[in-house]
């Protein structure tokens, strides 16, 4: 049955850290809670864990109302950003720790620890101490330890947040593979949209204590429900309703509307057609794997277009050149104040 969060709220004083949130996490799936800092992700995770009690609403685990159940009874594994391993214990002893306090027989513990070290690809590191490991290896030990007692649910709160970008990318792929092997229902908190897109089956986008949208990575990217989601997931051009870009002005219903346009959806041409608008190339930024072209509309606004190398080479455009653009798709939303 997985996890059902039903209309849960948490107040700190009069401040709604989590405000009427409902989320369903299917058994065996990996769901990301994604949102900016302060959007209530950790508070929600802590309530699922039982470390915090909701002010209203209910949390159901495997078909049982667990709202007021203790942490111990929920059979949950955790990994936090700074999950301090025991410094004076070896890797093997750290992973064995939760089994020992549960008085699991020694031979069984030994076998389980070896399995877990294999699983997190740290075979041969069992005798090391935490200070003899890299940050990424330490988090893998933390994950092995959290899986030791075979939790029903795994909760990860920005587990790779303190690591550098390259290691984080490697660990994402690794986590995805691990999840496919272990298949424990997992909730993964992150503020990094790429991380959420790459790792999870479903993404819950949070903002100011509320859920903005729930969907697969592709749904969220291609069909953002709100201007917040569109701006938070991936790059976007936000233009006023009167920008000289829409061939069909009837799309805009109010002067307060804004046009949201992904840079990857902007098509550049060197000759006009019925759907194009005339623009000037202002700047070309070559990132190697992608070329970013800054364009200026007749009405003065800037539009960014991201092109592949092939597209760019075919076009053969230069700064200051007049070209024509159209777009594959755009979204119209009411005015959105970026805060």
- Least CB distance from residue 39 to Mg ion, whole Å? 8
- Least CB distance from residue 327 to ligand ADP, whole Å? 33
What DSSP string runs through 89-105? Answer: S-HHHHHHHHHHHTT--
CB 130 within 8 A of CB 85: yes
Q: Which three-class secondary structure state does DSSP give residue 57?
A: strand
Give the nearer residue to ligand ADP in terms of CB position, either 14 or 107. Answer: 14
User: What is the Cα–Cα distance from 26 to 144, expressed in whole angstroms?
Assistant: 23
The binding site for ligand ADP (CB under 6 A) comprises 12, 17, 35, 37-43
From Mg ion, ligand ADP, none, interface partner of 207 (C-beta below 5 to 8 A by class): none
Give the nearer residue to ligand ADP in terms of CB position, either 19 or 114. Answer: 19
From Mg ion, ligand ADP, none, interface partner of 109 (C-beta below 5 to 8 A by class): none
Q: Please tell me the count of residues contacting Mg ion according to CB under 5 A.
A: 1
- Least CB distance from residue 42 to Mg ion, whole Å? 3
Choose among 209, 207, 241, 240: nearest CA to 224.
207
User: What is the Cα–Cα distance from 10 to 126, expressed in whole angstroms?
Assistant: 41
- Least CB distance from residue 298 to Mg ion, whole Å? 44
From ligand ADP, Mg ion, none, interface partner of 17 (C-beta below 5 to 8 A by class): ligand ADP
- Least CB distance from residue 6 to ligand ADP, whole Å? 18
Choose among 288, 284, 289, 287: nearest CA to 315.
284
Count other Cβ atoms within 10 Å, centred on residue 94.
23
- Scan for tokens 């109010």, then name that residue: 254
- Scan for tokens 């864990």, then name that residue: 49
From ligand ADP, Mg ion, none, interface partner of 12 (C-beta below 5 to 8 A by class): ligand ADP
From ligand ADP, Mg ion, none, interface partner of 39 (C-beta below 5 to 8 A by class): ligand ADP
User: What is the Cα–Cα distance from 171 to 181, expressed in whole angstroms?
Assistant: 15
CA 281 remoteness from chain centre: 33
Contact pattern for Mg ion over residues 5 through 44, marking x by CB under 5 A: -------------------------------------x--
Contact residues toward Mg ion (CB under 5 A) are: 42
């Amino acid at each position: 049955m997985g996890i059902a969060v039903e209309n849960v709220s948490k107040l700190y004083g009069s401040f709604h850290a989590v405000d009427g949130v409902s989320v369903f996490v299917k058994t065996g799936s990996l769901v990301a809670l994604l949102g900016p800092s302060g959007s209530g992700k950790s508070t929600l995770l802590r309530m699922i864990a039982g470390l915090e009690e909701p002010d209203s609403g209910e949390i159901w685990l495997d078909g049982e109302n667990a709202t007021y159940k203790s942490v111990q009874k929920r059979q949950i594994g955790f990994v936090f950003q700074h999950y301090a391993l025991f410094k004076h214990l070896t890797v093997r002893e750290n992973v064995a720790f939760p089994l020992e306090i549960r008085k699991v027989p020694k031979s069984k513990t030994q076998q389980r620890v070896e399995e877990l070290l294999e699983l997190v690809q740290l075979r041969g590191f069992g005798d090391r101490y935490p200070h003899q490991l890299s940050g990424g290896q330490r988090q893998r030990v933390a994950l092995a330890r959290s899986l030791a007692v075979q939790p029903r649910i795994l909760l990860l709160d920005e587990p790779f947040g303190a690591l550098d970008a390259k290691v984080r990318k490697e660990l994402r792929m690794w986590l995805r593979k691990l999840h496919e092997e272990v298949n424990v229902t997992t909730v993964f908190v992150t503020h990094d949209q790429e991380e959420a897109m790459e790792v999870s089956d479903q993404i819950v986008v949070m903002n100011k204590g509320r859920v903005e949208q729930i969907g697969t990575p592709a749904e969220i990217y291609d069909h953002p429900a709100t201007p917040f989601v569109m701006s938070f997931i991936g790059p976007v051009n936000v233009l006023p309703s009167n920008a000289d870009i829409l061939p069909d002005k009837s799309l805009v219903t109010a002067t307060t509307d804004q046009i949201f346009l992904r840079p990857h959806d902007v098509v550049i041409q060197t000759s006009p057609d019925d759907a194009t608008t005339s623009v000037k190339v202002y700047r070309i930024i070559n990132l190697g794997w992608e070329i970013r072209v800054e364009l200026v509309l007749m009405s003065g606004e800037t539009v960014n277009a991201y092109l592949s190398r092939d597209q760019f080479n075919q076009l053969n455009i230069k700064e200051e050149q007049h070209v024509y653009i159209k777009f594959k798709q755009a979204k119209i939303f009411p005015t959105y104040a970026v805060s």
